Structure 1
Amino acid sequence: MSTSATPAVAAPATAAPPVLEISSLSVDYGVGDGAVRALHDVDLTLRRGEVLGLAGESGSGKSTLAYAVTRLLSPPGVITGGDVRYHPREGGPVDVLAMTPRELRAFRWQEISIVFQGAMNSLNPVHTVRTQLTDVLRAHRPGMSRAARTARAEELLALVGISADRLGAYPHQLSGGMRQRVMIAMALALEPEIVVMDEPTTALDVVMQRQILRQLVRLREELGFSVVFITHDISLLIEFSDRIAIMYGGRIVEQAGAADIYRDPRHPYSDGLLHSFPALRGPRRELTGIPGSPPDLRAMPPGCAFHPRCPKAFDPCDRRTPHLAPADSDTGRSVACWLNDDRRPGEE
């Protein structure tokens, strides 16, 4: 996908109220001396109606963050600190981490839904599309009649561009792109305020990726929900996100508007991601990539986790960990890098 043009999606006004606030969220896998820290004090705000992209290499903590926020972490994953606050349209903020199992059941699908990684293989192969869409409605809206559930299922398929006559189809009778769109329709069944998409288009070709993401943006504009879109492919986010957060080694290292990240990445890791894929239009350019491999979470390097791979590393990088801090008050950009810190090496 080309990124030779300016991103088409304009960021919403910064005054838009938050719908989800994550503060100092930390996650470990395992307990005791053998625990591995997968998320380090993550701070992130999702504003109402925006598409927030979350990018980074495999193992950077993107999916762990999604599962922690939705309380879907499987053992041995443990949330060890922080807060997750959901802001409904009416009433005060809700502490997601303090919800009871019953409250969580009501919260999921109705307020927040998730399209899992490998979504096109998530449908049950022995049930029709109709059965799988109406099961969601039966479980969460028991008062709906059978006819109303079927009508809603037809409406959901229409939203994602699939004919109602495919309700009787089994997953193997659908293309990969159609299965993916069915999963998106299922995520929208109860009109949630937030949709988390964990690399939902990874297994699809670039043409189908583009079609699905265009539909997603259109649905966001029509229905007003917010999206957290997780992927390792920053080129997708540049075009379809309002704002992007870059993760590395379990931390967020840069947050900015999609256009700002594209034009002027401030963290060397963000710059490396941008130069790891070819442009389809414009002059040829050499792909520089990022040397080395992501860090082993069991033996993280001291200081900045990226410094062993960073072409711009200097004195404090291998000794002190930079914290995410504002880098541009006008755009709301924040960066965790000593290159963007006003303090001189050796200063605390």
Structure 2
Amino acid sequence: MNGPVLEISGLNVDYGLGDAAVRAVRDIDLTLNRGEILGLAGESGSGKSTLAYAITRLLPPPGVITGGHVRYRPAEGGPADRNGDALKAGTGGAGVDILELGPEQLRAFRWQEISLVFQGAMNSLNPVHSVRSQLTDVLVAHRPEMSRAARNERAAELLSLVGIPADRLGSYPHQLSGGMRQRVMIAMALALEPEIVLLDEPTTALDVVMQRQILRQLVRLREELGFSVVFITHDISLLLEFSDRIAIMYGGRIVEQAAAKDIYRDARHPYSHGLLHSFPALHGPRRELTGIPGSPPDLKGMPTGCAFHPRCPKAIAPCSERVPALAPAGPGNRTVACWLHTEHRSGDS
């Protein structure tokens, strides 16, 4: 990888205000490198989608970002918008802090530098507009200098990128299969050649064959175009197959982060281990599916200490008392937030 393209530090997100506020994302520190596919896994309610919407400033009310930074190109100066005005919100080489962009800067930034394929994207297309109209809308908004012919040519090129014939430009969403609609949404996300694409559960409603086809196509596009990907899903088996690195979320926090192969071979956090043993292996000897007992925590009444300790088969005394910090746990830039590891036993978080 060629250094970080996105750096998240100390990010907190609440739903609601005052005493009624619920903290859905807690002190997230995460880095995405250039050309990398970073997987984000966890059960429903762990904060994965909230994190994606916070990064892109698309949090629906009453979601509020209450702290932290989301820096784009953190080691560089920021890019400029189409009018040549600097988007950089900070100074020096800090890049762009997305959380400090004004409305016009943010509008220019989204889709051009970072795009999002929404959860349930298969049903996100407007049913009364053709594929051509919906692909060219983003070009009209962000590239007003393009002629109609150039926009149509770009729309055809985008469909070709995701494996759909250009003659489907005149089709309406109901005339496409679920997999084709999903690929149209991915094509739309790539229209302005962004450096980062966030995929929020992009294949949930598709069968496993179509899931693999779309994800292999996405990997091919990443190799051809060089963009970075944050791939969010509850299906860790998909991440193991297609991601370079995986971060595991639980109760709004990241509890483990490592290369995909290291997570698969030796998950350090008991929650990561539970996720890995919640689906059957396609190769090797049979093994019992143990799953994870209990239910995810209620964000309105989080347990003290480590949020996972009420469900953890390996909980020890400090687990119910203190929150473990996300700290180094071996080679390869692996980090784990767990009191089972000696790196955490010497002090409090």
TM-score, length-normalised on structure 1?
0.94
Q: Deviations over 1:126-164 (max 9, x none)?
A: 010000001111111000000000000000000000000
**Residues 328 and 343, structure 2, Cα contact 8 Å, conserved in 1:** no
User: Equivalent residue for 2:341?
Assistant: 340
User: Equivalent residue for 2:267?
Assistant: 265
Quick one: distance in 2 between partners of 1:121 and 1:61?
A: 22
Q: Deviations over 1:16-66 (max 9, x none)?
A: 211000000001100111110111110000001100000000000000000
How many angstroms does 1:327 deviate by? 0.9
**Residues 125 and 172, structure 1, Cα contact 8 Å, conserved in 2:** yes
Quick one: distance in 2 between partners of 1:171 and 1:278?
A: 35
SS at match of 1:25: strand
Quick one: distance in 2 between partners of 1:95 and 1:143?
A: 28
Q: Which amino acid aligns with 2:177?
A: S
Alignment pair present for 1:243 and 2:245: yes
Matches within 5 A, 1:186-197: 186-197=188-199
Identity %: 80
Q: Mind listing any 5+ residue stretches in structure 2 that lack a counterpart? A: 79-92
Quick one: distance in 1 between partners of 2:347 and 2:159?
A: 59
How many angstroms does 1:90 deviate by? 6.0
Q: Deviations over 1:78-116 (max 9, x none)?
A: 000001100187644111111000000010000000000
Deviates more, 1:280-289 or 1:59-68: 280-289
Alignment pair present for 1:19 and 2:39: no
User: Equivalent residue for 1:114?
Assistant: 116
SS at match of 1:191: coil
Q: Which of 184, 202, 214 pairs up with 1:212?
A: 214
Residues 236 and 343 from structure 1, CA distance in 2 versus in 1: closer, same or farther, beyond 3 angstroms?
closer
Q: Deviations over 1:169-215 (max 9, x none)?
A: 00000000000000000000000000000001000000000000000
Higher relative contact order, structure no. (Cα contacts within 8 Å, ≥ 6 residues apart): 1
Q: Mind listing any 5+ residue stretches in structure 1 that lack a counterpart? A: 1-12
Quick one: distance in 2 between partners of 1:341 and 1:103?
A: 46
SS at match of 1:308: helix
User: Equivalent residue for 2:183?
Assistant: 181
SS at match of 1:342: helix
How many angstroms does 1:280 deviate by? 2.3
Matches within 5 A, 1:1-348: 13=1, 16-87=2-73, 91=78, 92=93, 93-328=95-330, 330-344=331-345
Q: Which amino acid aligns with 2:34?
A: R
Q: Deviations over 1:261-295 (max 9, x none)?
A: 00000000000000000122322111000000000
**Residues 41 and 251, structure 1, Cα contact 8 Å, conserved in 2:** yes
Residues 173 and 326 from structure 1, CA distance in 2 versus in 1: closer, same or farther, beyond 3 angstroms?
same
Residues 146 and 18 from structure 1, CA distance in 2 versus in 1: closer, same or farther, beyond 3 angstroms?
same
How many angstroms does 1:343 deviate by? 4.8
Q: Which amino acid aligns with 1:240?
A: F
Quick one: distance in 2 between partners of 1:305 and 1:113?
A: 32
SS at match of 2:322: coil
When the two structures are aligned, how many residues end up with a matched partner?
Answer: 333
Quick one: distance in 2 between partners of 1:299 and 1:347?
A: 22
How many angstroms does 1:340 deviate by? 1.4
Quick one: distance in 1 between partners of 2:68 and 2:346?
A: 30
**Residues 118 and 199, structure 1, Cα contact 8 Å, conserved in 2:** yes
**Residues 329 and 343, structure 2, Cα contact 8 Å, conserved in 1:** no
Q: Which amino acid aligns with 2:225?
A: L
Q: Which amino acid aligns with 2:334?
A: R
